[in-house]
Structure 1
Amino acid sequence: MSVLPPLAVSLGDPAGIGPEIIVESWARRREARLPPFFVVGGEQVLEAASRTRGVIRLIGSAEEAFEVFKDRLPVLGTSEAEYTPGEPSAEGAALALHSLAESTRLALLGKASAVVTAPVAKDQLATVGFEFPGQTEFLAEVCGLDQDDAVMMLAGPSLRAVPLTVHCALADVSKRLSQELIIRRARIVATALRRDFGIESPRIAVCGLNPHAGESGRFGDEESQIIAPAIAALVADGHSITGPHSADSLFTPRARKTYDAALAMYHDQALIPLKALDFDEGVNVTLGLPIVRTSPDHGTAFDIAGKGIADPGAMIAALKMAGEMAARRAAHG
């Protein structure tokens, strides 16, 4: 099999911990067995964020990353911003957006085998014209997909969890849920588990929305009116899917052995257990795209940026997972 292109890494907000965890991940490339990657833009930012000077090397094409990666961290492009840890700016947001857009473009062109995105500050991106709730929705738009077809999965060593609704108020969750949404996203998850994670017969468990999954309608009827009928339709279609389960017991060690991914009804229902179990190794994966995209499952952490204490574990996990997913896609055509 031919060698895959290197991974493209977007810089994230240069005032956050993204630059330092990228450089630290490269520093641990051998022990972590990371695939070759390059960063789009921010050569000076990365150099300033590095504990050891002289580890950054500017490259003129993605192909050059293979040779350079052995001894230096390759950076493609000359876009820059001031490096001021903990002090986000419009200039830094513009660099973050350029890096994200160019990384995605290179992946769509086949110049990169996957995109790994460092954390961004959505409020800062809004100041430079970013009109999306998050990077997931941006990627869907750029890839020409409906936003419902780009599915966020949080994945770690202990759990894979998918929130059906993501960046919306808790009061709006029930209004956004539908049988169609559950069926559509569950099918995308099942396909991704087979194609990207190598699980031949994926098992999916579905959370209820209400306490105790509604307790037969005593605490709400979303389970009986929306969730259960969607599950029945998916079972009839041949999927191995169960629920609605009470969310307060679905993430116990015993329960987690019974499924490969959990479908949650809203953001925190998925992210709280994932971060409690796998915070330093949690990866945000976008399913359903024509390209592979992963990201560390944490934010910019402006409060600790530049202090040399940020843990690169989630970035390392995101890089490894991106390489593994890209390899599986290439092997299966």
Structure 2
Amino acid sequence: MQKLPLLITTGEPAGIGMDVVLLLAQAGKLQDFSRPIWVTADAAAMQARADELVAAGVLTSKLSWQTADAQIDADDFIGHISQQFAVTNDDNSPAFILLDIPCGAPVVAGHIDINNALMVAQQLEIAHQLASNNTVAAIITGPLQKSALIDADIKLLDGTMFSGHTEFFMQQSGRDKVVMMLANPTMKVALVTTHLALKDVPAAITANNVRQTVQIVLDDMRSKFGLTQPRILVCGLNPHAGEGGHLGTEEIEIINPVLQEFIAAGVDISEAMPADTLFTPRHLENCDAVIAMYHDQGLPVLKSHGFGDTVNLTLGLPYIRTSVDHGTALDLAGRGGASATSLYQALVMANEMADKALAH
């Protein structure tokens, strides 16, 4: 049976999103997957970026891809793409299928133009549609420049300012809560709270928030990672997990009562543990995922064990979404200094999750 494609959104056209796709294509790494690779970008900008990288000595002139000749506002765009490019990778296949989404202005590597912000948002809309109707197996997002979309007055579905991929896909999917997880070969870390000022974190550690986070992690570890009984360790909020209430009471009053609900239901999950001892080999070797209470509690530890190999995932969506762990790197775009390692790892994880979801 033919496997569904993996879809890469290249994000901000002035950044390195297109560069890293081209680097993987040049190295033959996009052929490592038993799935077609689809890529959203401006076709003219992609060719221009390839030419720049050839001039920089990074690419040869032999690289080729196939372009989908379709307009994003056509009523039958999704059906047209799925019929025209529902093909399996083989020796004669192009490096990737480019879904042409035209920019509003010429693309200059390294220079943001807010006239192209709408095209960036349209990539995400197309990706959501293709994943929602099971035309593609997973979305792998390249970096975007949030400030450019905000300056261009691009809004989320609820009318608020554009705050990122995670919020976009959450609202488009009609979900009230999703979970950010970062993963590398050493560990997987999910977060109860994400981009909050430290002073605002305690108020966000509610029983409902902790409960929803744990449930989403459990559901996706089962359905998307193929683990029937995932083993979860949970960080406390306070030093020493509150030291019996002497250094904070959130563990006693909020976190542990919720965790006890899951333990009573037969889930293999810890009570709140001191973060400074949880992240040690003795504990990590016996767990499948860690839940941290806030961003800089879990992610610095994870990234210190493999920054370039780290993948960003959004759990709780009705489809698989992985992402690179780097930004647009405007100073490297078109010059040949970008690394494609993170994109490759995001593809590897998306492919593995898609295979396990298919088996599940």
Which of the five TM-score ranges fits, normalised by the shorter chain? over 0.9
TM-fit CA distance, 1:25: 2.1
Give 1:140's aligned amino acid.
M
TM-fit CA distance, 1:49: 2.5
Contact 1:93/1:124 (<8 A) preserved: yes
Contact 1:47/1:55 (<8 A) preserved: no
Name the structure 2 match of 1:74. Answer: 97
1:117 aligns with 2:141: yes
Q: Choose 66-75 or 165-174, whichever is displaced more.
A: 66-75
Name the structure 1 match of 2:295. Answer: 267
Give 2:174's aligned amino acid.
G
1:5 aligns with 2:4: yes
TM-fit CA distance, 1:36: 2.0
Given the superposition, is the C-alpha separation of residues 178 and 5 from structure 1 closer, same or farther in structure 2, using an over 3 Å criterion?
A: same
TM-fit CA distance, 1:73: 2.7
Q: Where do residues 8-27 of structure 1 align in structure 2 (5 Å cutoff)?
A: 8-27=7-26
User: Given the two structures, how large is their TM-score scaled by the length of structure 1?
Assistant: 0.92
Q: 2:185 aligns with which of 139, 149, 157?
A: 157
Structure 1 ranges of 4+ moved more than 6 A: none
1:314 aligns with 2:342: yes
Structure 1 Cα separation of the partners of residues 277 and 27 of structure 2: 37
Structure 2 Cα separation of the partners of residues 56 and 47 of structure 1: 10
Structure 2 Cα separation of the partners of residues 37 and 330 of structure 1: 18
Name the structure 2 match of 1:48. Answer: 48
Structure 1 Cα separation of the partners of residues 238 and 262 of structure 2: 21
Name the structure 2 match of 1:300. Answer: 328
Q: How large is the Cα RMSD of the aligned pairs?
A: 2.0
> Which structure has the larger Rg?
2
Contact 2:226/2:357 (<8 A) preserved: no
Given the superposition, is the C-alpha separation of residues 241 and 267 from structure 1 closer, same or farther in structure 2, using an over 3 Å criterion?
A: same
Q: 2:122 aligns with which of 98, 104, 123?
A: 98
Q: Where do residues 1-333 of structure 1 align in structure 2 (5 Å cutoff)?
A: 2-30=1-29, 33-34=32-33, 35-50=35-50, 51-53=59-61, 55-60=64-69, 61-62=81-82, 63-64=84-85, 66=87, 70-80=93-103, 81-128=105-152, 129-130=154-155, 131-146=161-176, 148=177, 150-332=178-360
Contact 1:43/1:56 (<8 A) preserved: no
Unaligned ranges ≥5, structure 2: 51-58, 70-80, 156-160
Unaligned ranges ≥5, structure 1: none
Structure 2 Cα separation of the partners of residues 127 and 163 of structure 1: 28
Contact 1:152/1:162 (<8 A) preserved: yes
User: Given the two structures, how large is their TM-score scaled by the length of structure 2?
Assistant: 0.85
TM-fit CA distance, 1:260: 0.6
Structure 1 Cα separation of the partners of residues 60 and 261 of structure 2: 56
Query: 1:184-225 CA deviation, whole Å, 9 max, x = no partner?
Result: 111111111111112221011111112222222222211111
Structure 2 Cα separation of the partners of residues 173 and 305 of structure 1: 36
SS in 1 for 2:245: coil
SS in 2 for 1:185: helix
SS in 2 for 1:227: helix
Given the superposition, is the C-alpha separation of residues 26 and 66 from structure 1 closer, same or farther in structure 2, using an over 3 Å criterion?
A: farther
Contact 2:43/2:67 (<8 A) preserved: yes
